[in-house]
Chain A
Amino acid sequence: MPEAYPEKRIGSGIRYTEIRDEKFRSCLLSVQFCVHRDAASAAIHALLPDLLTASSAEYPSVAEMTLRLELLYAADFLGKLTLCGDDAVLDFTASWLDDRYALEGEALTDEMLSLVIGALLHPNAENGAFCDPEFRICKQNLLDDIDCEQNDKRGYTLRQAAGLAYQGTPAAIPPHGTRAAAKKITPEAAFRLWQEILRTAAIEIAVVTPAPKPQIALRFAEAFRAVPRSPLHFCFDAPCIAKKTVSVQEERLPVGQTKLAAVYRYDSIPREVMLMLCSILGWNSDALLFVNLREKQSLCYYCCLQHSRSKHTIFIDCGIDAADLNAVRQEIDAQLKAVQNGDFTDEMMEKSVLRYACRAAADSDSAYDTAAEMLGRLRSGDLRTPQQMTEALRQVTRAQIAEAAKMLQPDSVFILRAEREEAEDDAD
């Protein structure tokens, strides 16, 4: 079973947590930098995870970095950006085979620590600027990603809905930033911002390992001793601001299926109540949206619900025929009304608790999910373990769920309307 050791400070604003679990054959290290976002920095934040994992001073090209990782038995070193409330998290995750499996007795943990610390603190840069061609390639990749945002129609619809709901706040800035901002990034500006992040970000380090690895904390502490840290404060909660009227936006695209994303906001609902509400409305196999929109009325293939804890919002999205738009919106409202009226069974509540427990157990069987769960707890400040949360879910009443559903306010709707479908309907 996983055994979490109390987190400790290994530097100013640097928290370190180690979780030991003998069943894993690999070690996982996650280093997260929490940063504030604005229009100018968002694009650089999107660039940095790729740039810093593509090469380093020691391995100054993608080929050299990849070759090193392959020699370490297909070790991984990946960067990604996630949004959290109005802030962003630059996440660098490395995983490697535990030392005992090395065929030639290599000290894999020490080698990987050198690689990761090297990439983060001694990147591929000279004279205060990231080096080309790696910088140029990563910047072009970022521009391509921005240009290709519409390739994934569902993701695009959800991002547009978020932009609408969070208008006027940093959370409305697209995850990759704007094309104009990305175009303007220089190697110097990107390097300057990374140095600032090293000084000011709140840093969370989590390790999941089958055996004690004291050298990880020691080496990170040593590495950051040279950095003049003055960490900023970060706030997990950044609720979506209430609007006077529901924002509705529509865009047309030559595709076959119309997509709809509806956003609802709330002021304050305890997490356990919100988890129960989401399960009953959209997550369980007999969730009201799934059963009514898909199974009973065949209106869609998927009708999904996502919850943003930090923004106090839920997103409901589905792919439909444009002709069914009104019917779908009415049905979503009707199912929300059903929850408000307490029109769901005790069995659905019990299943919601079981579903959460099953998911928590599944998370504990993956090193990546174990680290993510722990880091999520630390970031949000809700330190309850999955077992404690399961118990909290059991205590939630029908009245609390119904009351919470009444607090959900329609906020924004984004529709990606299929032009091709409409043209075919006209032809008929």
Chain B
Amino acid sequence: MQTEIIRLTDPCTGDDCCRILHKSGLEIRVMEMSGFSTAYAQFGTKFGSLHRRFRSGDDGTVTALPAGIAHYLEHKLFEKEDGDTAVLFDAFGASSNAYTDFDRTVYHFHTQQHFDEALALLLRFVQAPYFTPETVERERGIITQEILEFLDDPTDQCFHRMLGGLYRNLLFAPGVLGTAESIQAITPALLHECHRQFYNLHNMVLCCAGNVNVQQILDTADRVLAPAPPMTAQIIAPQEPDAPAEAFCTCQMPVGKTMFSLGIKSRPVSGTERLRESLLASLTLDILIGSAAPLYQRLLHEGLLGGTFDTDCFAGDGWFTVIAEGESDEPQAVMEAMFAERERLLTEKPDETLFAALKKAAYGDSILGMNHPEDACSAMTDAFIWECDSPFIRTELLAGLTVSDVQQCLLTRFRPENACLSVIAPE
């Protein structure tokens, strides 16, 4: 296989992105950003906390994984025989870290100098696992403390309980970290197996942005990366019904005011369609209950909503959810008002002035979204995980959205029967 380079240009800003299909099997995306002094790099794999069952390409065996293993693997990859890899990044003046999400694990660094050396280190350390029973055991105490912190966080709990209520089979619960019990089952052998199956270069992406140079990155990749064998492991994704597992869930925690997270699930989509639908759903949320919307103004005046309120569209491989969350003494009333407003907007048309203003705002966000190396790097990683070839299609997709699309979105993606309301009440 030969390395192939595809150049993409943003028609609005003139930004260039190089999409490189490297001969090793790795996809590399690069944005050279003139004037910036820092270089960012993210090396990610499509292996996250939701990936809990897979069929091995070697012999077809199906393996079930304990909750939290992707995150555990992320922690342990930094540790090598001679110590913590983060310390080696420090020596280059680079700041490194990693995160695990539902659908990915990403290792990253940024630096002002020694970019080549730091990039080579990133590529090498992520590909070279070193696990011993002692080091794996030692991590259990650290991650248990991280889990305890997560369990004490009411915002996280409210959100995750909502996802658990919405999705019957997709394993959002117990969260990315797993539980103190589930991580007991994690062994060096299991970590090695996950690494072998999912840290295959064909399943990964390297994104670099800022003060970087395409040739410099290619040279490092050529030097460090060996061709990977074909990716044969298959994630077994559970089938998810349309209806939520439960419409309401509640618990008590030491909070000052009742918190809620309302999620509404709908048909998942992939690739460019997912990006378009996410943009449309975010716009629709703003028209329905964003801070410029009449409903938000009314709920604010009636004291049903306070300063802590937000909306989001949360979508991935196999899920699509619109979310409204915040604090309210009457979350049920907020939900009912939202669905009543949906009915109104389906009958009467959404306000054209508000729609035009929100489209302008989304355009502004798109222009600014690539004006920082870290944001550009993350946008390229997102595009890869979402199977979009270009990170520059937002403005084009936005331009095509109409008020009728908003009504269609309200109809299909805001169905009351597909909602789950999660509430955390004060103890």
- What is the chain B residue whose CB lies nearest that of A284? B90
Contact A364:B37 (CB < 8 A) given known A26-B368, A284-B90, A298-B139: yes
Tell me which residues across on chain A come within 8 A of B365, comparing CB atoms: 74
Give the residue among A72, A103, A140, A144 with the most B Cβ atoms within 10 A: A144
Candidates A26, A151, A358; contact of B94 at CB < 8 Å? A358
A145 CB within 8 Å of chain B: yes
Q: Is the CB of B361 within 8 A of A361?
A: no
Q: Which of B60-68, B290-298, B330-338 contacts A (4 or more CB under 8 A)?
A: B290-298
Q: Is the CB of A153 within 8 A of B357?
A: no
- Per-residue CB contact flags for chain B residues 83-107 toward chain A (1 = under 8 Å, else 0) read 0101101111111100000000000
Contact A319:B256 (CB < 8 A) given known A73-B363, A286-B84, A286-B90: no
Candidates B93, B94, B148, B357; contact of A319 at CB < 8 Å? B148
Q: Is the CB of A70 within 8 A of B357?
A: yes
Q: Is the CB of B292 within 8 A of A254?
A: no
A423 CB within 8 Å of chain B: no
A58 CB within 8 Å of chain B: no
Q: How far is the CA of A148 from the CA of B363 in the complex (A)?
A: 35
A63 CB within 8 Å of chain B: yes
- Per-residue CB contact flags for chain A residues 251-281 toward chain B (1 = under 8 Å, else 0) read 0011111000000000000000000000000
Tell me which residues across on chain B come within 8 A of A145, comparing CB atoms: 307
Contact A148:B145 (CB < 8 A) given known A63-B293, A70-B361, A257-B152: no
Q: Is the CB of A300 within 8 A of B142?
A: yes
Tell me which residues across on chain A come within 8 A of B257, comparing CB atoms: 144, 147-148
- What is the chain B residue whose CB lies nearest that of A69? B361
Q: Which of A16-24, A33-41, A185-193, A198-206 contacts B (4 or more CB under 8 A)?
A: A16-24
Candidates A26, A67, A365; contact of B37 at CB < 8 Å? A365
Q: Is the CB of B142 within 8 A of A66?
A: no
Q: Is the CB of A148 within 8 A of B255?
A: yes
B341 to chain A, nearest CB (A): 14
Q: Is the CB of A319 within 8 A of B149?
A: yes
Q: How far is the CA of A302 from the CA of B142 in the complex (A)?
A: 9
Q: Which of A117-125, A236-244, A349-357, A402-410 contacts B (4 or more CB under 8 A)?
A: A349-357
Chain A interface residue bracket vs B: 35 or more
Candidates B86, B139, B155, B360; contact of A103 at CB < 8 Å? B360
Q: Is the CB of B291 within 8 A of A62?
A: yes
B290 to chain A, nearest CB (A): 8
Q: How far is the CA of A146 from the CA of B36 in the complex (A)?
A: 40
Tell me which residues across on chain B come within 8 A of A213, comparing CB atoms: none
Q: Is the CB of B34 within 8 A of A61?
A: no
Q: Is the CB of B256 within 8 A of A285?
A: no
Candidates A97, A140, A286; contact of B368 at CB < 8 Å? A97
Candidates A25, A284, A298; contact of B141 at CB < 8 Å? A298
Number of A-B contacts (CB under 8 A): 197
Candidates A23, A70, A146, A365; contact of B358 at CB < 8 Å? A70
- What is the chain A residue whose CB lies nearest that of B426? A147
Contact A63:B294 (CB < 8 A) given known A26-B371, A257-B145, A358-B112: yes
| Beta-carbon contacts under 8 Å, B331-376 to A | 353-354, 357-358, 360-365, 367-368, 371-373
Q: Is the CB of A362 within 8 A of B307?
A: no
A385 CB within 8 Å of chain B: no
Tell me which residues across on chain B come within 8 A of A219, comparing CB atoms: none
A141 to chain B, nearest CB (A): 4
Given A24-B371, A25-B13; 14 other pairs, CB 8 A cutoff: A1-B37, A21-B35, A26-B368, A66-B290, A70-B361, A73-B361, A101-B364, A140-B306, A151-B154, A151-B255, A254-B254, A256-B148, A319-B149, A351-B87
Q: What would be 25 A-B contacts, judged by CB atoms less than 8 Å apart?
A: A1-B35, A63-B293, A63-B297, A71-B357, A72-B364, A73-B363, A73-B367, A74-B364, A133-B301, A144-B307, A144-B327, A148-B256, A151-B154, A254-B254, A256-B148, A256-B151, A286-B86, A299-B145, A319-B148, A320-B145, A358-B93, A362-B95, A364-B37, A365-B36, A365-B37
Residues on B facing A (Cβ under 8 Å) = 12-13, 33-38, 84, 86-87, 89-96, 110-113, 138-143, 145-146, 148-149, 151-155, 210, 254-257, 259, 290-294, 296-297, 300-301, 303, 306-308, 327, 353-354, 357-358, 360-365, 367-368, 371-373, 427
The 7 closest A-B pairs by CB, nearest first: A73-B364, A23-B35, A298-B141, A354-B93, A147-B256, A141-B307, A148-B256
